[in-house]
Structure 1
Amino acid sequence: MNTAIMVVLVMTGVGLIFGLILAFANKAFAIEVNPLIEIVEEALPKGQCGACGYAGCAAYAEAVVLDPDVPPNLCIPGKKPVADEVAEITGKKSAEVEPQVAQIRCNSGIAESTKKYNYVGIEDCIAASLVQGGPKGCQYGCMGFGTCAANCPFDALSMGENGLPIVDQKKCTGCGKCASVCPKHVIAMSPIGEPVSVLCNSKDKGAAAKKVCSVACIGCGACKKSCPYDAITVENNLAVVDGKICLEKCNNPICLEKCPTGAIVPLTEDAKKASVVIKEAAAKAKAEKAAQAAQAKKEEK
């Protein structure tokens, strides 16, 4: 009986001693957390997309608060409103954020493309691409297994009946997560509202590209020759549109009529509507900020 009591007392004493040691260590080695980090993190959209270059919103919040060289406009999904808010919290200057949206640069669906073989395996683009580059005839085309849609943190992508991803322009934040997981690099971020797009990713020469896809860009250069603004170049047998030039200067895209395969397509009506909504929201946010600044200046006087 006495032995049991002694054991309990000894264990209690040891526990108290270790408790005091841990309490002292916790206080002595405690790291103070800047309260601004939590405030910045709350301002971020919590998509955890990594478009900022950091491992999630918390990591970016810590970096932008503690590192003077980290700009406040790296949160792509948050766009200008979030950039302005982070800049105000951290006391940094916010540069203009260009709105962008994901674009599927492949228009070769089930009906338009050939197959090298019938794929039976994991329904994942990365897994399929490991088997002879994937089952699609065009080695540069979308394989249609939906890896991009599965990885979109904002549910802005879905798979269409033709086996190609569909981008919901209203939900897409331009974070680039879908582009980073696409093994064929079919997805790119483009300026919102550009009049035309080249929906092809093929680098093959004309005859080879046409053989495996009926809507492939054949690099003929007809679009480039017809563009009065030099907004189109041909690189690696593929037409490339400068979205900024096209958006700023072109109101009548002649290139659409000149493309023999239909690889260049006009901006869709849904994209036009989304573009208007986004631009109106940006203009509204800018006006509200200007009004707040004017009010603050008035109160100072």
Structure 2
Amino acid sequence: MINTAIMVVVVMTVIGCIFGIILAYVNKRFAMEVNPLVELVEDVLPKGQCGGCGFAGCKAYAEAVVLDENVPPNLCVPGKAAVAEQVAKLTGKSAPAIEPRVAHIKCGGDCTKAVKKYKYKGIKDCTAANLLQGGDKACQYGCLGFGTCVKSCPFGAMAMGSKGLPIIDVERCTGCGTCVDACPKQVIGFRPVGSKIMVNCNSKDKGGAVRKACSIGCLGCGLCARNCPHGALKVENNLAVVVDHHICMEKCSEATCLAKCPTGAIRAVISGVDLQEQTKKEAAANA
């Protein structure tokens, strides 16, 4: 028995050595030379692996921007201008300026304002809930409030508020778009940093249906657009839309749209941040 055990160990050892030699040869024979510049570029990227650049992670983008002259150095949205400048310097390319942006929840229908059409008891995930009649909210366009976007954020820039809506920490938000892709309702969009107003609604329904589903929804009445002296807003598919945030930022000193909106679907950005002070504290408590 002992001799048999020894023979088994010897045979396994020999087989292991043979396979090790074969793998070493194959590795050396088919090894691909790595451009050291790829690693240098990857080192300056934020490592969020968000895919905001359009590539499958930071390493893939680093390889593309180094090896392909047609790939620009400013595609890393989270890295913003600072990273774009470093990548441009390393690759010898020019990096046009990128406007910083942050995510925006286009829904104000929290648990105190939005009507529920049934009581959902399934998996606490927006994608799963959306499979059951589009979710439990009477508004088919509203945030479902299960935090799938929060879980997807690679930078910890989101938290769920106590009233069932995500809260965005604009200091951490990089505008990478991961949360946008994760939302099955397409409730999340972008706004430029420094914007003054936001439309907190995503509904394309007509006014009567909106009133039945949510007390803070946009009615598509057009009062905001008709009373804006700069033409910064318009109504598309029964929903108020900011044509260009820069019009508000550069020309508007008094946002008449805020006073004219009958439901409060349009709200001001407070000090460049889309959170009231109390929701900031709420986000910190839930982090």
Q: Which residue of 1 aligns with 2:222?
A: 221
Q: Deviations over 1:173-192 (max 9, x none)?
A: 11111111011111101101
Distance in 1 (alpha carbons) for counterparts of 2:92 and 2:27: 32
Q: Deviations over 1:171-230 (max 9, x none)?
A: 111111111101111110110111111100000001111111111101111111111211
The structure number with the bigger radius of gyration is: 1
- Matched residue type, 2:87: V
Q: Which runs of 4+ in 1 moved over 3 A?
A: 5-28
Distance in 1 (alpha carbons) for counterparts of 2:186 and 2:119: 22
Matches within 5 A, 1:151-170: 151-170=152-171
Q: Which residue of 2 aligns with 1:294?
A: none
Q: Which residue of 1 aligns with 2:259?
A: 257
Count of residues paired in the alignment: 272
Matches within 5 A, 1:106-117: 106-117=107-118
Q: Which residue of 1 aligns with 2:178?
A: 177
- Matched residue type, 1:197: M
- Native 8 Å contact 2:53 2:76 kept in 1: yes
Instruction: Report the secondary structure of 1:234's partner residue.
Output: strand
> Are residues 1:32 and 2:17 paired?
no
Deviation at 1:247, TM superposition (A): 2.0
Q: Deviations over 1:77-116 (max 9, x none)?
A: 0000000000101111101111000111101111111111
- Native 8 Å contact 2:157 2:168 kept in 1: yes
- Native 8 Å contact 2:196 2:272 kept in 1: no
Distance in 1 (alpha carbons) for counterparts of 2:163 and 2:26: 62
TM score, norm. by length of structure 1: 0.83
Deviation at 1:249, TM superposition (A): 2.1
Distance change >3 Å, CA 30–CA 222, structure 1 → 2: same
Q: Which residue of 2 aligns with 1:94?
A: 95
- Native 8 Å contact 1:205 1:219 kept in 2: yes
Unpaired stretches in structure 2, ≥5 consecutive residues: 1-5, 276-287
Q: Which residue of 2 aligns with 1:246?
A: 248
Deviation at 1:126, TM superposition (A): 0.6
Deviates more, 1:20-29 or 1:117-126: 20-29
> Are residues 1:76 and 2:77 paired?
yes
TM score, norm. by length of structure 2: 0.87
- Matched residue type, 2:46: P
Distance change >3 Å, CA 87–CA 119, structure 1 → 2: same
Distance in 2 (alpha carbons) for counterparts of 1:272 and 1:213: 21
Distance change >3 Å, CA 10–CA 158, structure 1 → 2: closer
Matches within 5 A, 1:13-162: 22-162=23-163
- Native 8 Å contact 2:195 2:272 kept in 1: no
Q: What percentage of aligned pairs have identical amino acids?
A: 60
Distance in 1 (alpha carbons) for counterparts of 2:274 and 2:129: 34
Deviation at 1:22, TM superposition (A): 4.8
Distance change >3 Å, CA 213–CA 36, structure 1 → 2: same
Instruction: Report the secondary structure of 2:273's partner residue.
Output: helix
